[in-house]
Each structure stands twice: as structure tokens, then as C-alpha cells.
Structure 1
């Protein structure tokens, strides 16, 4: 049963946000507006990283792609930083149709006044590939996939299996942060939390890799663990992390609703 959020929904609750620091602002504001105490543990950091030779090759052929695929907000951000550095007219984008993973990514594309043609209900690369293939087969279709250093390999593999011609353009890198000496991590170890929110497989991997630095004290509160969507959930399962709740849609509203329901049952 859906519960209506109020200003006191998370009053007295300590909630851990694991997003990169620069991307945690909205989540912090939303949680604090609902009465929660936010603990920021930025398990990963994201920065631009573009191979200029690869970029030049892609931009030379920019008008030949039928589809451009964005799998994250970071991909949209850094791709268009480079695009506008080279081109001063959005019409240089050509006739590429846009496909995306996730509502946040779709919103970032729409901010560029571009239309999202395909966005699967489940926010995963596999589902996006399936949607593209079901729509028009993809045989010999030329596709540009915008990625980070941790590529969406399953997405590319499925498109290539469908005989698409796929080029990938990494425009950012994701790295694990070191929280061993972070005072916020120390507070988390000592007191624990009511819940911890994961928004990417990379954050899950970092949490697993940094287990010694995040090990809770004997009397610390064990948090419920939540996932924003299928790919994050899959990473949690693979690494043996418990999954206490999962957003029905890959966005913050759905995740906070799932969190509210999980805490109500605790």
C-alpha cells in the first residue's frame, strides 16, 4: 500500500546516501525536507575522461549514426560539453534518434530540447537493447553508445548480436573513493543508520571493497539496504549484499517510497 510522504516521514531516521558528492545535493534536500538525517558516504567519484582521438573519429561521422544511446546523466553531461566545444549549432547533432536508460537520463536529454524515442520501463542496458531490437530489428543500424570507463557491455553485446554496427564513446570515468579516514564514515561505523541507499553498481562494488573501513561497531544500528533499480540490485546479489527494498522505477521518488514502506515494517 502506497504511503503518502509528509514532512515527518523520516523524522529521527539516519539515512546514508552513497552517490558522488556533487550528485547528492537533490537527494539530501529531499530527505531532509521529510525529516531525515542524511549521512553522505560518497563511495564513488565521477570525472570527465575523453580520448580525443576517439572523439574526433566519432564527430567526423556524427551525421551517419541512426541512434545515440545514453546510459547515465553523466554521459549526457560530458558528451554535450564536448559537442558544444566543437559545434556551435545543435543542428550539427543531425538526425540521430535518442534512446536512454533511466528517467534521470531522459530528463537530462530533454533539457537539451531533444526528444527521447526509447526509454524502457526497467532501467537496464539489457532492456534498452531489447526495446531497440523489438522496435526495428537493428540489422546494420549504426549506433553510438555514450559510456563511462565501466562500459555497459551487455547492452553493446546484445546490439551486436542483432547485427547492429556499434561504436562506443567513453566520456567519463568512475573511481572508488577512500573512506578509511573520512570522519563521516567514522560516525557511520560507530552509530550505524536506519537505511543505506545505493544508486549504481559502482557504488555497490565500492561498498563491498571498502568493507573494513565501513565495518559497524557491535552496538551500531544495522541499516536496511535499498536499490534504485535492476542493475544495482544485480550487483548487490552478485556480491552477497542484502536487498531490503528496491524502487519500482529508477528514480528518487520511487526509491523514497520504497524506503518509507520498508522502514514502516521494521
Structure 2
């Protein structure tokens, strides 16, 4: 036995740890800083359901590539797993010394029966901790536009395992408002329990499915009609729902804010790779849209690495005065080449660095490099050339600029810098090739107008999407990042509805939302129902 005060070279064995992380009702923006930090340190992540994978796609969330991500799922009969089965699954990962993050919908102890999982950790000698989350019991009513504070007192209940017992429901009859989270399959039992407690069949009810997500559905009803109302939605038996009974449901008036967002329920096609699409998808989601990314290009290394190898050696040896980055992919390509050589951002010491725009600049800062020049006006190759300083024999000891770029990039920047007296070493850092066509259902949805909008961020995304999937349906709203992309759309016979005010993906999302808001207001002014473009795809093109 090792005694205190003696030394040993043996490191203690890694101990597993389980962190129960509350994720809120469904909106990834409700994650806490503690949740984001826990995910960043996780060696294993366990999700409640597949719906939670959207959380991992949020741009603020970083999960290690080697982290094991798994989903609890359901039994063979489609029922939720019992607490004991869930506990065994969690312990299996933790016992191997993993730092396990167990993502839980809502708040871990308030919304879900995870206390048994935590107790199993204690019995198994595994340490655990809890990162509280926003409870769905309070958040979902707010997403449904329900004011609980003026409802005369609220009785909360979460019943997703087992049955509605008298102990859980005995006080429902005397409560002004009852908020209950449960499953679609348990609605009939909820109605029976509510009536048994003394609530009348005509009691006002609001039911919300998928609260806090872009698929949220809220329906007014009564207790007697609740089962039929839920059946009309045709939701899977294990889908979660929230039922608000009583005064708060009766007082719901003009506070519906979530389901009236300008892009709520819109299905938006984003023809970019997933890592590039993240900022746009996150912004579109704040307006209520559900995005589907369809890669249109694949980024590949250059056919021969010799040019890049020579350029990187020249950069380290002081051959250049400037390095000009025209895309995030260029930053990524140079960074990967640096890592091959065992180099890091310190090799840029003494160099001046230019970025074509704010997104590229952010990618450089993520590498630890602060760019010396980012265009204040037009963020494009032409804009960068317009603001680039001319070569000065007195001030500039070297007249060469390293320009890593795509194989299909235009000569705009090279010509502009050459005109300013610089010698430009134009190097192919990466190739862009057309991606494989998306699955048949996606191609069919594009052609038949099941997407409400498509957002194009470059001329190449237009050409490649049309090439691999065909033209979007005439009723689909077309939004583009700038005039050049709009021109390419018109060349392909696509009418452009929205052009971003600034060439950034966030501004493009904002512009699409502004268009949708004006469209919604016009329908309301005419006394017409506000239908999505996909619901009006048989109408004339001008009526989108």
C-alpha cells in the first residue's frame, strides 16, 4: 500500500464522470455557458433523442472529433427506455473512464426522471454533476405566448414515465392553471386524471407539441376535445407535448410571438457544406426557419502539393510582405499545410495579413492571427484590391504577396494588386469540385416546391445546385448574397426575390426574414391567410 509522504511514478487511473446537462425545451439558443463548456470537454455525449443532434450543430457548440456520440432511443416497441436501462447505458460509458455528458431535455431533475440515473452513478462509484437547464414547464408556455404570472397560481407536473397517479394530480382540481408535460400516448390518461381531480370538461386548454423548436404546433382546445385535437396532428406516440389548462389558457390573446416569426415553419434550402452553413442556419433559426444543408461543392487538396509546399517555405523564410486570404477555405488550407510542417501562427510574425471580409477575418482570429487589412466597404476581391496599399519602395522591403486561393477563383485580386506595383504569387491552395447529387427525395422536393426558400451565397452554388439537383420550383423564394450571384441566377432562368444589403450570410438571412415579414403583413392587410410559399406553389410566380 502507498503511504502518505512517499512518492510514486504511477499516475492514478482515469475516473469516469457523468455530467447531466439540461438543454431546454428544444431551442439550441437556450443552452447555458455551462452546457457549452461541458460539451467541449466531453469524451462521450449521450442524447435523449435524435432531435437533440441539432444542438450539436449549433455554431457555439464544439465537440471533440474523437468524442463518442450516441442516442438512447426507444425500446423495440417504440416506448421510452426505463430509468434502469438508461442508467446502465450511461454507466457503461463512464466505467471506461470517459467524461460523459448526458444531454437532457429541459432541466435534468425538474423535467425528466434522471434522478434514478444519478443514483445509479452513486452506487457504481461514479461521480456526477448537474448543469441545470431552462425548464420546459415554464419555457414552452412562453413559446406558446402564454402569460403564467397573471394566471392565478400554477400547478406544474412532468409525467413521462408511468401513469398519472392521484398523488401527482390531486391538487389539479383546485389550481387556477395546470401545466403538464407528457407524451402524445398519455393524453387520454391526462384527460381522465384532470377530470377525476375535479376539472370540468369545458376547461380551456392549450396544447403545444415540439415546443421551442421550428416545428412547434400550438392548438387551443377544451379538456373534452383534447384527445381529438392531438390526434388531428398525427404525431408519433412518444413525441413530447405540453398541456396548459385553466386561466392561463383562457387568457391567451395577442401574445403569440414565436409562431408568428417571419420565417416560422419555412423550410429553407442552404446549398453549402455543413461547417460553412452553421452561422446562416443559426441566424435563420432565430426567425423560425428550419434549414436543410445540401453540399454543392467538395473542397479537395490541389492535384500537386509542390506549389503550396514552396509557398509555405517561402513564407517562413521571409519571402513575402503580405499574405492575402480570400476565403475561409484558403485559411483552412494554409493552416493544414502549416500543421503538416509542425508550424503554427507564430510563423506569420513580421508579415502583413489581409482578409477579404469579416467571415474570413474571423477564421484567421480563430487561428490566433489578427488581420492588418479587412475592407471597410465592399467585402469582395474587388473591394480588397480597392483598399490595398500600393507598393512603396521606401516603406516596403519586399514587393511580393502570397495569394492562396481556389483553382476556379477569378483574376480580379491578382490584377488589382499587380496594378498597385505588387508581385503576386498566385497559388492554388485547394480545388472545388462539384458534389455528388443529393438523395432523390431532396431533388424531388427542390423541383416540386416543397422548399419555401433557397439561399445562394455565390455564383458557384447556383451553378452547382442546378447541375446536381435541377432548378428550384418557380414558387420557391430565391435569396442571394449579392448582384453577381443574382446575375448568375437570372442566367439560369431563376427570378431573384431577395438580394442581401451586404455580402455576408447573416445579412442574407436578415434580408430573407425582412422579405417574409413584408409578405406576411401584406397577406394580413388583404385579409388573406398567411401561407408559406410551399403552400402556394400552384399559384402564379408573383404571388410567392
**Shorter-chain TM-score: which interval?**
0.7 to 0.9
Structure 2, unmatched stretches of 5+, are: 1-256, 520-544
For 1:50-89, what aligned pairs fall within 5 Å after superposition? 51-62=304-315, 63-89=318-344
Match of 2:454 in 1: 196
Deviation for aligned residue 1:197: 0.5
CA contact (8 A) 1:123 1:229 kept: no
Q: What is the aligned residue count?
A: 254
| Alignment counterpart, residue 123 of structure 1, candidates 344, 360, 379 | 379
1:4-30 deviations in whole A, cap 9, x for unaligned? xx7533112121111124433443343
For 1:150-169, what aligned pairs fall within 5 Å after superposition? 150-169=408-427
Is 1:37 the counterpart of 2:290 in the alignment?
Answer: yes
Using the alignment, how far apart are the partners of 2:449 and 2:493 within structure 1? 23
For 1:1-266, what aligned pairs fall within 5 Å after superposition? 7=258, 8-49=261-302, 51-62=304-315, 63-120=318-375, 121-132=377-388, 135-137=389-391, 141-179=399-437, 181-210=439-468, 213-215=469-471, 222-236=475-489, 239=492, 241-266=494-519
Bigger RCO of structures 1 and 2 (CA < 8 A, at least 6 apart): 1
CA contact (8 A) 1:192 1:222 kept: no
Using the alignment, how far apart are the partners of 2:422 and 2:518 within structure 1? 47
Secondary structure (helix, strand or coil) at the match of 1:136 reads: coil
Q: Which runs of 4+ in 1 moved over 4 A?
A: 137-140, 237-240
CA contact (8 A) 1:66 1:143 kept: yes
Q: 1:235 to 1:94 in 2, by over 3 A?
A: farther
Match of 1:3 in 2: none
Secondary structure (helix, strand or coil) at the match of 1:265 reads: helix
Deviation for aligned residue 1:174: 1.1
Q: 1:138 to 1:127 in 2, by over 3 A?
A: farther
Match of 2:68 in 1: none
Q: 1:29 to 1:150 in 2, by over 3 A?
A: same
Q: 1:102 to 1:173 in 2, by over 3 A?
A: same
Using the alignment, how far apart are the partners of 2:294 and 2:457 within structure 1? 12
CA contact (8 A) 1:67 1:97 kept: yes
Secondary structure (helix, strand or coil) at the match of 2:503 reads: coil
Deviation for aligned residue 1:47: 2.9
Structure (1 or 2) with the larger CA radius of gyration: 2
TM-score by length of 2: 0.43
CA contact (8 A) 2:400 2:422 kept: yes
Q: As a proportion of its length, which structure holds more helix? A: 1
Using the alignment, how far apart are the partners of 2:358 and 2:486 within structure 1? 17
1:51-110 deviations in whole A, cap 9, x for unaligned? 321123212321121111111111101111111221435332242211111211010011
Deviation for aligned residue 1:199: 1.2
CA root-mean-square deviation: 2.6
Structure 1, unmatched stretches of 5+, are: 1-5
Deviation for aligned residue 1:179: 2.4
Using the alignment, how far apart are the partners of 2:362 and 2:321 within structure 1? 21
Q: 1:241 to 1:153 in 2, by over 3 A?
A: farther
166-175 or 90-99: bigger deviation: 90-99
CA contact (8 A) 1:122 1:229 kept: no
